[in-house]
Chain A
Amino acid sequence: MIEPFRKSTGEVLQTIQGELSPYVGSLMARTAAAAHCRDLGFYDSVLDHQQIAALLQKIRLGLVIFLGKEKTEEVIDDMQRAISRLGETH
């Protein structure tokens, strides 16, 4: 049976911050990730696959203004890979 894709919200946000901060600084990385999560109404301690995809899409739309489409895709790919390496939360 395939395990459901569920990751700790805190760990996901921390991973996103880690990937974003070289570009937008640690303060903006932290506040942007948390603000996007809040805007999407994700308050639970775990995020599923769809929620993570929605969160990354929101970050992608903002980041493209600063980095352009190509570089943004590269950064988002790195984020996705880093998130998928996180352990599952049940």
Chain B
Amino acid sequence: MKNRTLNLFWVALAVPVAFFAGRALVPGAALYTQVFPQVTLDWLGAVPKLVFCALGVLGGLAVTSRFEAGNPSRTAWRLWTAGLAGTLLGQLVLTWYFAVEGKTSVFPSLGDLFFVAGSLALIASLVAFVRAYEKSGFPIGSSAERWGIGLGAAVLSAVLVVPVLWPVLATPAPPLEKLLNMAYPALDFLMLIPALLLLRISLRFWGGRVWTVWALLIAGILATAAGDVLFGYFSGLGKVQLDALIDVAFILGYGLFAASVLYQRDLLAR
């Protein structure tokens, strides 16, 4: 990407993030209560998510096609793109409900099928990335070190996920709703295991363009994980004031995913 296009991308990400961060901090401000009606706010939340997911999918397709057949990175990027496509389809379903039926909080819905499938593909892709990097022959640390980090990340995830989700689990709700409220953060924390491994590996690439791609991607995983936890509280405990923060987390997460894919595409360009 040219510098101008890159700057435009970051501005396009920063504007909706700042807008919804402002709403989270000062929900009673005239901007959010008088200037923009609720339906406009809903659109302002939905469109950036769709755009960044779509950018991620398109960029992912370009990246996948640039890795030759037989390259383990091709499989990993293909899975990553499939995961983002699942997320995009999920977001499209949610947008459909709100645009056609005027419903803003349909949960559970058909969209959840795509979100869960997408998360599973993203986890599989991260595992595929770790395996691909092992095959590179670059000094990325010993197998014992990677096992140690993987086990440590698993314990950390379990320690974090149980207390964070306990209130959601303890709240009465239909079984499917409760299952999904648990499943999303659990899948995110499961995703954190290979993501932390990749973070450790990527630190060895500090300062290079490979590092930039991975820093963006892992930051995106952390942002969407935060969004899923907040959503669990929002739908499980009825904490509707978290609405704006959820938008911040998901717009930022999807934006960072798109950025990582676009930087990787540039890295492969001749």
The answer to whether A and B interact is: yes
Check B270–A71 contact: CB distance below 8 A.
yes
Residues of B near A49 (CB, < 8 A) are: none
Residues of B near A61 (CB, < 8 A) are: 136-137
Residues of B near A74 (CB, < 8 A) are: 270
Q: How far is the CB of B96 from chain A (nearest CB, A)?
A: 37
Residues of B near A58 (CB, < 8 A) are: 137
Residues of B near A66 (CB, < 8 A) are: 73, 136, 210, 267
**Residue B19 at the A interface, CB < 8 A?**
no
Contact A69:B132 (CB < 8 A) given known A32-B139, A58-B137: no
A69 to B270, CA, bound (A): 11
Residues of B near A23 (CB, < 8 A) are: 208-210, 267
The chain A residue with its CB closest to the CB of B77 is A68
Residues of B near A71 (CB, < 8 A) are: 267-270
Residues of A near B132 (CB, < 8 A) are: 65
**Residue B66 at the A interface, CB < 8 A?**
yes
Residues of B near A22 (CB, < 8 A) are: 208-209
A29 to B206, CA, bound (A): 10
**Residue A35 at the B interface, CB < 8 A?**
yes
Residues of B near A64 (CB, < 8 A) are: 71
The chain A residue with its CB closest to the CB of B135 is A65
**Residue A45 at the B interface, CB < 8 A?**
no
Residues of B near A26 (CB, < 8 A) are: 207-208
A19 to B67, CA, bound (A): 21
A49 to B132, CA, bound (A): 30
A62 to B207, CA, bound (A): 18
A residues 39-90 with Cβ under 8 Å of B?
A: 58, 61-71, 74
B 63-106 binary contact with A (CB < 8 Å = 1; else 0)? 00011100111000000000000000000000000000000000
The chain A residue with its CB closest to the CB of B211 is A25
Give A contacts to B, CB under 8 Å.
Answer: 21-29, 31-32, 35-36, 58, 61-71, 74
Beyond A25-B206, A28-B206, 8 extra complex contacts between A and B, CB < 8 Å:
A23-B208, A35-B139, A62-B136, A62-B137, A66-B136, A66-B267, A67-B267, A71-B268
